[in-house]
Structure 1
């Protein structure tokens, strides 16, 4: 790559990053997208709840998006990993794993998050396929199916209230002593939602499709799907090294314009919101691109 000086470098080239790049490319901004090819949902077979793309494999959506974005000649794409960045007097240096040193006026982080899926047998193989996180993204496909919720307390109760509309065969798996208020227990019982406290030892599956949940006491029970919410970490530490603040939930803190707490840096997609979906990522990326363009415009007009 010959050019090393850009108006905007977008770190992360999945849905949010590509959406931001399109907004900037249509304003003739010199943009570089840096992406290492590890999308958060790379194991998910289909994307849902995104109009015009419902049921399409995520990789096909991003492939089509990348092709469209790169029609804008001011936008470049680099298959690489951004490993560090430094503030300069008028912008930032971005360093990549391949040894590139790049200069940019603005940075957009579209780096996503990394789910800390337990090492329990079968969990990682099922994650995003039949071990799922969101009723809006996956619930319709498992409607009327035997479904479990791998959670406890408020999180489990909230999920149960949403999933209850999709199936009449619902069980909460607390993997330990259940932690519900009396009024919550009464509602769960009224809706015939079972509670199991036995710890899970493994998930039995076929190519990620759940068959049985195995328990530490030797029992097993058939399930078609399990909802779960695992802890996560940011996929990139670079925002922290530049001073960007986090929310109490661990997301990059942004305002209504996708601006972080550091001037000149924006964030979009899963790294900065609890709303984890392709549609939400695309929307926040579009806004981040537009607001970054507005900031560049203000500096020169």
Structure 2
């Protein structure tokens, strides 16, 4: 039995494995190799690695782990997870079962895009979810906040940090905005486009304009989606984790969950979805696990 199994090999999982490896804990890190940011060209906002391609970060993370003999990295898919007494068992796609005293789910989230033609084509090349991650590269260009209601208003106002040319597109949801909402947006120079969106058009490399169902067009260098449209791993629900209305896990100070011995680190937990924050969450979960195991062994 391993001291810990970590499912997910992004910043959270890799850093959790690193800290536990330095504690000389036996760790199995399992990653299926299909990250949410696979199509993302660069990772921004990461100290000393600003602009590094995500695949290069992951490769360096695995290389760092190679110096720790108690850490094993395995490329595989975990199809199921369950409690077994005070421990955990995970089932791999090939039917093999691995067990551990503690379990870290660093599985991130699955991104569901709106069913607008072109959104999938320009995902990460003009369609984004996080202006902190991708706003700077679209600074001073025409930006669109795609959403409605309170979330849409908030996102549109947030985008004014990066551009003064911001439009809130409600996609045929005019009734989602109050008069007070519209007045507030107007005070900040934000236009509202209530028409139904037909497609996002571009040059094949970059988004350029939104095309509406009535044939009108609006320049658009980037579309930012309101929070939502993300699903956690089935493993999280299989193990009985609590979820917030947004579909994330309300973890504690050290990424613990309502399930004893189970930790969730990275985008599926409650904090902002930055790579540097995910890595920190992995470290905190590892610290908590090592502390718990010390107490268990001393009992």
Q: TM-score range by the shorter chain?
A: over 0.9
Q: Show the counterpart of 1:72.
A: 68
Q: TM-score, normalised by structure 2?
A: 0.95
Q: Show the counterpart of 2:96.
A: 100
Out of 211, 230, 233, which is 1:232 matched to? 230
SS in 2 for 1:271: coil
Q: Show the counterpart of 2:184.
A: 187
Residues 152-203 of structure 1: per-residue CA shift (max 9 Å, x gap): 1211221122211221211111111433333332221122211111111111
Q: Show the counterpart of 1:273.
A: 270
Where in structure 2 are the equivalents of 1:30-179 lying within 5 Å? 30-178=26-174, 179=176
Seen in structure 2, the aligned counterparts of structure 1 residues 69 and 207 have a Cα distance that, compared at 3 Å, is: farther
2:263 matches 1:254:
no
Q: Show the counterpart of 2:215.
A: 218
Alpha-carbon RMSD across the aligned residues, in angstroms, is: 1.4
- Structure-1 separation of matches of 2:164 and 2:43: 24
Out of 289, 295, 298, which is 1:298 matched to? 295
On the 8 A contact 2:2/2:99 being kept in 1, the answer is: yes
Unaligned runs of 5+ in 2: none
Q: Show the counterpart of 1:29.
A: 25
- Structure-1 separation of matches of 2:266 and 2:8: 10
- Structure-2 separation of matches of 1:177 and 1:254: 34
* 89-98 vs 138-147, which moves further: 89-98
- Structure-2 separation of matches of 1:65 and 1:22: 8
SS in 1 for 2:268: helix
Q: What displacement does 1:219 show?
A: 1.9
- Structure-1 separation of matches of 2:239 and 2:273: 25
Residues 77-119 of structure 1: per-residue CA shift (max 9 Å, x gap): 1100011122223412211002211121110000111111123
Q: How many residues align?
A: 296
Q: TM-score, normalised by structure 1?
A: 0.94
Seen in structure 2, the aligned counterparts of structure 1 residues 274 and 93 have a Cα distance that, compared at 3 Å, is: same
